[in-house]
Amino acid sequence: MSPVEPALVPAPRTVEEAAPGGFPLTPDTPLSAGPGTGTTERWLRSTLGPALGLRFPPGTEDTRDGLRLRLDDTLAPEAYRLAVLPGRGVEIAGGGPAGVFWGAQTLRQLLGPDAFRKAPVRPGATRTVPHRIVEDEPRFRWRGLMLDVARHFMPKEGVLRYLDLMAAHKLNVLHFHLTDDQGWRIEIERYPRLTETGSWRARTKLGHRASPLWNDTPHGGHYTQDDIREIVAYAAERHIAVVPEIDVPGHSQAAIAAYPELGNTDVVDTSSLTVWDTWGINPNVLAPTDTTLRFYEGVLEEVLELFPADATGPSAFASSPPSSPAPSFSSFVHIGGDECPKDQWRASDVAQKRIADLGLADEDALQSWFIGHFAGWLAERGRRLIGWDEILQGGLAPGAAVSSWRGYAGGVAAARAGHDVVMCPEQHVYLDHRQDAGPEEPVPIGYVRTLEDVYRFEPVPAELTSEDAGRVLGTQANAWSEVTENQARVDYQVFPRLAALAEVAWSALPAPAERDFAGFERRMAAHYRRLDALGVAYRPPAGPLPWQRRPGVLGRPVDGAPPQR
């Protein structure tokens, strides 16, 4: 894309100038929506229309002076063709409903930053869409963002806002991290203490766990079941699948604080445990007992009802013909499986008896059995387990998928073993990591990951064969919230780097060293104006603004370049 072409992010496959000038959108421009395009029609009327003062009166499929939406079964499910031609208005054709929706996101960018506002700032102005033909489709099926709402709770309105931000960047999976040591965020009706007790902590470590600072204001909150239903429905209208994460068997102190029998009661006094108020790897893990298994089966029964699988779409793991709907990942349930210390199991007579009764080799095999139990339980209900790459230890049930976070190695091993993979290595796409080495960077965590670093991230390791590479479903950025306690801090860490990740996930980019980062920066100059209109408190290219700095709050910076594998 040349500098004179529209500054689209993520970059489309092709943009062709159809003619000089453009098509004017006025308050009377009609909208014609063909079968299967209802989500895009509703979005245009509820979001784009109010931003620009467009009424979009109903049109017909023969309308030549309006906006037309239709399906085209010659296109791939998420592909689209946006054509703005003289005398023919604007037409968005998609291989499926999602393709039409992504085409509408491109139309929004073509209309300028005012299209990203809530109400017109120039009432009555004519909006001109340049005469262009944009043909586009995504590289990866899984294009995601993980939001950690367990460490610091994000109110429902903030989650809905992030779904809108994801849609604007053509991301289609929200990995929703709902439980951890520091808080349980989802209402489970049969276990009310999970939110009555488990969703609140008395205080919070301020900064990294080595920091001497504390925030003594109690922190917490949770989503009611109707909140969850609203979030899932709102996401579905934007063609985003929501994958819930319920952590087992580690990262579970909030649950144990609510129901002490879930912990290793023969090793520690679990009745004295509270919701954890600091960060790090917690030694208090679930007991490998039938009581624990039945408890979490009860939790997951309610989770499955709240996060229904899309039974009408094709398998999310098999290729589909162009006329099929876009793949849905709503059948996945994430169970964590990471950072589970085994010290309590080694000291527990109950855990050791379980190991002996099952004929297992050791505590790692016990965790594999624990994860395997839920993989089978979910499979019996038509769902698929996904977990962090530690679930590979001791063997993994067929059909389970892996989020590769400790580098590329777990993803490589999983793909070679026949498992589907989402690449999200900590060293490259953890957005809580710092964006610069300068002293003014707020609460510096981990490696320096600049906008350019994220733009040059490659999700598919070169050592994979073409068959194994096909098991890489895609990639996601992870936004952990230990040191991002409010919307402004989340925005600062996530943007603008999420725009770079979105382009990596969507666009057909060359090898990392050959990518045109200078061209991406030029397009971002326009994209920052869109983010401004959306009210995103991103990190400016020149560095943090005075009110974005956090002097005196310790982080955990890691010097040097991150490992590449």
- Which positions are catalytic? 180, 251, 339
DSSP string, 519-556: HHHHHHHHHHHHHHHHT--PPPTT---GGG--TT---E
Q: Return the sign of the alpha-carbon dihedral for residues 298, 301, 303, 305.
A: negative
Q: Contact at 8 Å (CB) between 394 and 388?
A: no
Q: Which residues of 381-404 are buried (b: 16+ CB within 10 A; e: fewer)?
A: eebbbbbbbbbbbbebbebbbbbb
DSSP string, 297-336: HHHHHHHHHHS---TTSPPTTS---TTSPPP--TTEEEEE
Task: List, in order, residues 6 or more apart from 305 with CB less than 8 Å away.
Answer: none
**CA proximity to 504, closest of 450, 453, 448:** 453
**CA proximity to 400, closest of 423, 412, 383:** 383
Q: Contact at 8 Å (CB) between 424 and 441?
A: no
**CA proximity to 122, closest of 131, 134, 111, 114:** 114
CA distances from 496 to 506, 518, 529, 537 (A): 16, 15, 12, 9
DSSP string, 253-302: HHHHHH-GGGB-TTTS-GGG-----S-S--S--B--SHHHHHHHHHHHHH
Type of residue numbered 271: S
Pairwise CA distance, residues 264 & 270, whole Å: 7
Instruction: Count CB atoms within 10 A of the CB of residue 482.
Output: 24
Type of residue numbered 201: R
**CA proximity to 107, closest of 37, 189, 44, 38:** 44
